[in-house]
Amino acid sequence: MVDKKQISKLYSAAKLSETEQSVLEYLLNNIDTLDDIGIKPVAMACFTSMTTVIRLSKKLGYRGYREMMHDLKHLQHVSREMNQSLKDSSVHFVCHTGDVDVFIAALHRNRMIGVNGEGFSRIVAQYMATKLVGLGFLAVIQDFLETDQFVESNRNTLSCMMLISKSGQTEAILETARACHDAGITTLAFTGNEDSELAKTADAIFTIHDDHPMDLKNVKPNCFTGSCILAFEELLSICLDNLKQEGLAP
């Protein structure tokens, strides 16, 4: 079942009203039984007007109700397949229900993707950005720009911000996470600490095993960096399969 919390994460950029969120929640949770059903029955079931349903479709970027229903049905189907795939395979990350959907939705929008990591996590950030660019996505590393300038300059073009921090407590990364949160930009966290400040701030958290959580200088042998890259590749594979089925693969 999809709830309003997940909807607010997945569709935060659309700035949906409470009523529109309720309609979308109803559609997502009943999509398999709504084949060829018109706008009026949906509006009646949600105790709202047909205008609200049409406005919802427009806010989500569709040309109309039918196009929205077709796309939502496909996304639900892919999501179920993806969840089963994750259960059947060994992956290098742990996440909450809906977090992979947030990742897919961010790349699905096909806008600019920001990436940031400090220290050894910088290696992961550079890998992610390079891989995304190689696949045809527009990706940029938050390099020398101050957080306020970076977010303010790109708030209307950033689809999401991928943030990597082993501890989840790196101040520069937390500053970016807070600024993105305030600007309504989706944040995807790759961290070794699911209870960190970064995890609390991010819209989706992918927890990577950290062999030595107390080794802040990262001098002991640790698979976190490599596992983080593998986790990204696994998420990317799921997302690209989704885009391919949509006919939107880069």
For residues 162 and 229, give the distance between their C-alpha atoms in angstroms, rounded to a whole number.
Answer: 12
- DSSP letters for 35-95: TT--HHHHHHHTTS-HHHHHHHHHHTT-SSHHHHHHHHHHHHHHHHHHHHHHHHS--S-B-
Q: How many domains does the chain have?
A: 2
Which structural domain, as residue segments, surrounds residue 186? Answer: 90-246
Token pair, residue 106, equals 């961010």
Is the same domain home to 112 and 56? no
**Both 141 and 242 in a single domain?**
yes
Distance of CA 223 to the CA centre of its chain: 24
Q: Do 162 and 227 fall within a single domain?
A: yes
Last residue of a domain, one of 27, 52, 87: 87
Q: What CATH number did the domain enclosing 24 receive?
A: 1.10.10.10
Same domain, 34 and 144: no
| pLDDT confidence of residue 78 | 61
Of 45, 70, 87, the position where a domain reaches its end is 87
Rounded distance between C-alpha atoms, residue 132 and residue 1, angstroms = 31
CATH at 190: 3.40.50.10490
Residue 114 and residue 233 in one domain: yes
pLDDT at 14: 79
User: 160 and 217 share a domain?
Assistant: yes
| pLDDT given for residue 79 in this prediction | 62
pTM (global) more than 0.75 = no
Instruction: Pick the last residue of a domain from 87, 108, 135.
Output: 87
pLDDT tens, position by position, for the chain (250 residues)?
A: 666 677 776 777 778 899 999 999 898 888 878 777 889 999 999 999 999 999 999 998 888 888 888 888 877 666 666 555 555 555 788 888 889 999 988 888 768 999 999 999 999 999 999 999 998 899 999 987 888 889 988 888 898 999 999 999 999 999 999 999 999 999 999 999 999 999 999 999 999 999 888 887 788 899 999 999 999 999 988 888 776 666 655 5
Residues 136 and 99 in one domain: yes
